[in-house]
Amino acid sequence: MELERMSGWAEETEDTEKDPPPKTCWEKFHTTISNWMLPPDHRTTYMERANCLPPPIFIISISIIELGVFIYYAVWMPQKQWITLDTGITKSPFIYRPDKREEAWRFLSYMLVHAGVQHIIGNLFLQLFLGIPLEMVHKGHRVGLVYIAGVIGGSLASSIFDPHLALVGASGGVYALIGGYFMNVIVNFKDMVPLFGIFRIISIVLIVGTDVGFALYRRYISKVAGPQVSFVAHFAGGLAGMTIGYTVFSCFDKNLIKDPRFWICIAAYVAFLVFAVFFNIFLSPVS
């Protein structure tokens, strides 16, 4: 009996001394994503079903389309310079223009057109840097919902609060992703390593501050060529992300349509859409 106990103890000791198998590159990649995108209580669930199927099709596809449209207007349409686009995009059927607001598709299609190299690079960097890991965790239909909500909310808000200016760029959608992610960081801050949470918040503040600062500089200080464009979509997109985006991204392992918070946010968003449409039809100062 004593020999059996010693043998069993030796086997247990030997088992405990075995090192766990090393993580593959994909496992390390998914672990990093889960640490950045999810609170601790959801990371195990994500790792159990983590895969790259489907890949982040939405955010990559929309980025390729936006880049293609920029190249088209920069190269083939008449421009004085391609660093800051002017003549081509002002006549584009995609740009949102107050005098063309009866063409309803412009409230969405303006996201495809950008005002210059800095504009397109900034938006593409932000939406790929944040959108790819978000889509790997939450999948394309959820990321797409938040992105499009920010784009449409941005153009409608601009038509109300900055009604005389045109609008270009995907900033509304980008800021919706940032707003949703930011709210999740704030709400789950107590479950994170403090320095890690602080680093994420500081990173978001620096990125947003730099981008908004550049937009304000271009609008009020710089005398660069090209049309004046509104920056209201930045704030409206961020607000859409902090409401709809936060709700969508916090339902990682839940059925979204069964979450009452989602329907409350959707109802508020629809109410805003109805008011914005009414304003543009009956109250807009633009003739």
Residue 204 and residue 42: Cα distance in Å, rounded?
22
Closest CA to 132 of 56, 62, 193, 79: 56
Tokens of 224: 């660069």
Give catalytic residue positions. Answer: 171, 234
**Dist. CA 172–CA 149, nearest whole Å:** 8
Please give, one letter per residue, the 3-state secondary structure of 122-171.
HHHHHHHHHHHHHHHHHCHHHHHHHHHHHHHHHHHHHHHHCCCCEECCCH
Our CA angle for 131, 133, 195, nearest 5°, is: 105
Phi, psi of 226 (to 5 degrees): 105, 170
